[in-house]
C-alpha cells in the first residue's frame, strides 16, 4: 500500500469507537544511511490545539479521508527528537539531486514494507518553470541530509491549502524558526494576515520583523483594524509610526483611532468594522451583509443601525437589530422598524472588566461602542473579550492546561 504524505495533511483521525479525535498534521520519519527512512508515526492535532504523537504501530487503517487507530492515545505533547524529521514540515520543498539534476521535492510516498513497519520509499519531484514532475525511488535521490539556506515553501503551503487560518497558524507555530519564516514569505498578504491574527505574539513579531517594511504594511492592511492595532501597540513607537505611514490612509485611519484608547478598554479591544446600515436599508440587504464569509459569527450576529455616514465614526447611532429578528421579518421591512431598543451602548473608556460584566449580564455576543457625540465607533464581541481575558500563551495549550 502506497500513500503520499502531503495528502494526509488535515485527514480526520478516528479512535476504535469511531469518534473523531483529531487531524493529521505531519508524518514523523527517521533518516537512515543508505536505506529509506522508517516512518515512526504521525503528529496529530487534538483539541485544544495540542499536537500529540501516534505511533505507526497503533494505526490499523489508512483510507481515503480517514485514519483509524487502535489502543489508547497518549496525550503528552509531541516533541521532535534530534534523529527525527517531519516529512511535511521539513522535507517538502528541499532541493535534491536525481540522476545528476537538481529538483524540488513536492511530495513523499510511504509504504508498508513489513507488518506494522512503514518506510518512505518514493520521492515526488519537479524541476524548472514548467514543473516537469517525476517520482523517483528513495535510492535515486540525494541531498536530504544537506543544510539548505533557502528551502522554499510551495509544497508545504499546497499541503496545508485547505486548512483554516487557525489550523495553519498552529502548524506554522510548530515549525523550526527558519522554516516558519520561509512559509510566511511564500504566503500571499491576505492569507498571511489571517494567520498572523491567530499566532502568539512572539511568532507575530518574529515573522513581521523578517518582512520588508512595505510588505509588513500591506499585511497589516489586510488584518482587522483591531488585530493590527494590538500588534502595533507592542512595537516601539517609531516603528509603529513608520508602518502606519506606509499603510493606505483609509486602512491606517481606523487603526490610529483604536491606538488612542487604552489597551484594556472597550475602545482598545473593539472592532471598528461591524456591520452598519442606515434605517432605510431593508431586512434583505441586512441579511446579505451578514452572509459575508469573512465575518466571524460574533460580528455577524447583529446589525448596527446609524444615520449617515455608516463608516465608523458614524452618524447618530440608532440601535441594533439581531440576525434572529431579521430571519423572522419580511425581506422588504425597513431596519428602522426592527431596532431593538433594549440594548444600551457602552462607552469606549469602559474597562475590560465592565465590558465582560455587560456581555454576561445581558447574554450578548456583541455590544455597540458609542462615543460622547452619540456616534458608533465600533463593537465589542465576545471573541475580542476572550482574546484579552485569556493568558498571553493560551494558544500554546500547554500540557495539563
Domain segments of the chain as ranges: 1-167, 188-260, 276-387
pLDDT beyond 80 at 276: yes
pLDDT higher than threshold 50 for residue 400: no
Say how many C-beta atoms besides its own lie within 10 A of residue 353's C-beta: 10
Cα–Cα distance measured from residue 99 to residue 56, given in angstroms and rounded to the nearest whole number? 32
Residue carrying C-alpha cell 524540488: 104
Residue 64 CB contacts under 8 Å (≥ 6 apart), including other chains: none
How much of the chain, in percent, has pLDDT values that exceed 70? 97
pLDDT at 364 (0 to 100): 92
**How far apart are the C-alpha atoms of 369 and 382, rounded to whole Å?**
13
pTM: 0.75
- How many other C-beta atoms lie within 10 A of the C-beta of residue 167? 19
Strand partners, 376: 370
Dist CA 346 CA 361 (whole Å) = 13
Burial 55-86 (b: 16+ CB within 10 A, else e): bbebbeebeeeebbbeeebeeeebebeeebbb
Distance separating alpha carbons of residues 74 and 77, to the nearest angstrom = 9
CA 21 to chain centre: 20
CATH number of 276-387: 3.10.580.10
Architecture of domain 188-260: Alpha Horseshoe (1.25)
Describe the crossing of helices 249-259 and 237-246 by its angle, rounded to 10 degrees.
150
Q: Does the pLDDT of residue 303 top 50, yes or no?
A: yes
Alpha-carbon distance of 321 to 319, in angstroms, equals 7
As a whole number, mean pLDDT of residues 14-25 equals 93
Task: For domain 1-167, give the fold.
Answer: SH3 type barrels. (2.30.30)
Amino acid at each position: 500500500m502506497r500513500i503520499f504524505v502531503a495528502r494526509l495533511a488535515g485527514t480526520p483521525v478516528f479512535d476504535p469507537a469511531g469518534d473523531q479525535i483529531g487531524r493529521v498534521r505531519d508524518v514523523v520519519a527517521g533518516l537512515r544511511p543508505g536505506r529509506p527512512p522508517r516512518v515512526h508515526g504521525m503528529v496529530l492535532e487534538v483539541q485544544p490545539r495540542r499536537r500529540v504523537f501516534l505511533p505507526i504501530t497503533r494505526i490499523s487503517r489508512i483510507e481515503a479521508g480517514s485514519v483509524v487507530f487502535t489502543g489508547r492515545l497518549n496525550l503528552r505533547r509531541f516533541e521532535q527528537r534530534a534523529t527525527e524529521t517531519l516529512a511535511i514540515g521539513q522535507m517538502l520543498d528541499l532541493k535534491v539531486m536525481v540522476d545528476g539534476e537538481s529538483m524540488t521535492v513536492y511530495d513523499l510516498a510511504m509504504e508498508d514494507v513489513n507488518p506494522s513497519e512503514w518506510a518512505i520509499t518514493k520521492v515526488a519531484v519537479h524541476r524548472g518553470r514548467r514543473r516537469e514532475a517525476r517520482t523517483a525511488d528513495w535510492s535515486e535521490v540525494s541531498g536530504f541530509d544537506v543544510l539548505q539556506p533557502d528551502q522554499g515553501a510551495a509544497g508545504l503551503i499546497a499541503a496545508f491549502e485547505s486548512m483554516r487560518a487557525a489550523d495553519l497558524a498552529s502548524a506554522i507555530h510548530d515549525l523550526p524558526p527558519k522554516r516558519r519564516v520561509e512559509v510566511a514569505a511564500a504566503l500571499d498578504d491576505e492569507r498571511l494576515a489571517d494567520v498572523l491574527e491567530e499566532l502568539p505574539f512572539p511568532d507575530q513579531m518574529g515573522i513581521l520583523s523578517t518582512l520588508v517594511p512595505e510588505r509588513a504594511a500591506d499585511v497589516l492592511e489586510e488584518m482587522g483594524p483591531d488585530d493590527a492595532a494590538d500588534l502595533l501597540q507592542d512595537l516601539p513607537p517609531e516603528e509603529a509610526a513608520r508602518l502606519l505611514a506606509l499603510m493606505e490612509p483609509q486602512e491606517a485611519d481606523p487603526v490610529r483611532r483604536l491606538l488612542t484608547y487604552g489597551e484594556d478598554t472597550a475602545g482598545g479591544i473593539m472592532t471598528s468594522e461591524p456591520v452598519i446600515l442606515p434605517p432605510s436599508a431593508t431586512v434583505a440587504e441586512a441579511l446579505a451583509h451578514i452572509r459575508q464569509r469573512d465575518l466571524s459569527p460574533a460580528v455577524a450576529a447583529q446589525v448596527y443601525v446609524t444615520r449617515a455616514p455608516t463608516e465608523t465614526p458614524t452618524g447618530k447611532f440608532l440601535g441594533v437589530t439581531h440576525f434572529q429578528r431579521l430571519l423572522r421579518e419580511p425581506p422588504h421591512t425597513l431596519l428602522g422598524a426592527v431596532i431593538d431598543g433594549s440594548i444600551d451602548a457602552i462607552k469606549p473608556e469602559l474597562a475590560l472588566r465592565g465590558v465582560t460584566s455587560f456581555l454576561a449580564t445581558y447574554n450578548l455576543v456583541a455590544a455597540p461602542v458609542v462615543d460622547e457625540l452619540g456616534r458608533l465607533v465600533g463593537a465589542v464581541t465576545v471573541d475580542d473579550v476572550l482574546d484579552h481575558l485569556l493568558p498571553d500563551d493560551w494558544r500554546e495549550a500547554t500540557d495539563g492546561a
